[in-house]
Chains A and B, each alone.
Chain A
Amino acid sequence: EVQLVESGGDFVQPGGSLRLSCAASGFTFSNDWMDWVRQAPGKGLEWVANMKYDGSEKYYLDSVKGRFTISRDNAKNSLFLQMNSLRAEDTAVYYCSRYLGDWGQGTLVTVSS
C-alpha cells in the first residue's frame, strides 16, 4: 500500500523559512516523479512543484520560483520542499503526491505576523 506522510508544517512569520518533508513507502520511490500541491484555507488546489525520479528535472509554479526548492533523497525514500521568504499567501495545506495519483494527508503551513 502506498503511503505518503508529510511533516514540517508550522506557524512562521513573513520572510521566514520552513522545510517540509514527505516520507514515502509502499512503492519504488526512485522510479517515480513526485509533486507538491497546496490548498489555501477554503480555496482550491494549486500545483507547486515537481521533480523527476532521478532529480534531473524540476518544475515550479512561477510565484514560488526562487523561493522554494524541491529535492529528494532516494536512498531515504523522502521528498522535501525548502520554503524561504515565506509570504502570507503561502498559507496552505501542503500535500505531497506520487504522479498526482497517490496523496499524503497534508501538512499545514501558516504564515502570519
Chain B
Amino acid sequence: DIQLTQSPSSLSASVGDRVTITCRASQDIRNDLGWYQQQPGKAPKRLIYDGSTLQSGVPSRFSGSGSGTELTLTISSLQPEDFATYFCLQYNRYPRTFGQGTKVEIK
C-alpha cells in the first residue's frame, strides 16, 4: 500500500499567514493526489485534485503543487474559515490511501 505522510500533524497560525502542508508518498504517485478540508462534524470538502487543479468554487488562496513523492498544499493568506483539518488522498494505486491529517489551529 502507498503510505502518505503529512507534515506537520498540526500547526498554529494567525489570520493572514501563509501556510504550507506537505504530503510525502512512499512511492511515486505522479500528481494523482487530492487535498481535502474537513470541519468538525462535517463531510470532507475537496479543494484540489490532480495535484494542482482547483476545485470549482474553492477560493484561489488555496493552491497545490508538486508531483512524484512530495506534494504541497499552500494557503496564501489564512482566513478565519480555514481553521480545520486537512487531508491528502492518493488515487494512483489501490487501495486509495489518505494522509493522517493536519490540524490548523488559531494562534
Contacts and interface: CB of A to CB of B under 8 A. Distances in A.
B28 to A, nearest CB: 19
Interface residues of B, number: 21
Given A95-B43, A100-B46, A106-B43, A44 B87 contact: yes
Given A100-B34, A101-B55, A103-B44, A44 B98 contact: yes
Contacts of B46: 100-101
B21 interface: no
Given A44-B87, A44-B101, A45-B89, A100 B43 contact: no
Contacts of A62: 95
Interface in A87-113: 95, 100-101, 103-106
Nearest to B44: A103
A100 B75 CA distance: 21
Nearest to B96: A47
A61 B95 contact: yes
B83 interface: no
A60 B38 CA distance: 24
B95 A100 contact: no
A60 B96 CA distance: 9
A100 B96 contact: yes
Interface of A: 35, 44-47, 50, 59-62, 95, 100-101, 103-106
6 contacts: A44-B87, A44-B98, A60-B95, A101-B34, A103-B45, A104-B43
Interface of B: 34, 36, 38, 42-46, 49, 55, 87, 89, 91, 94-101
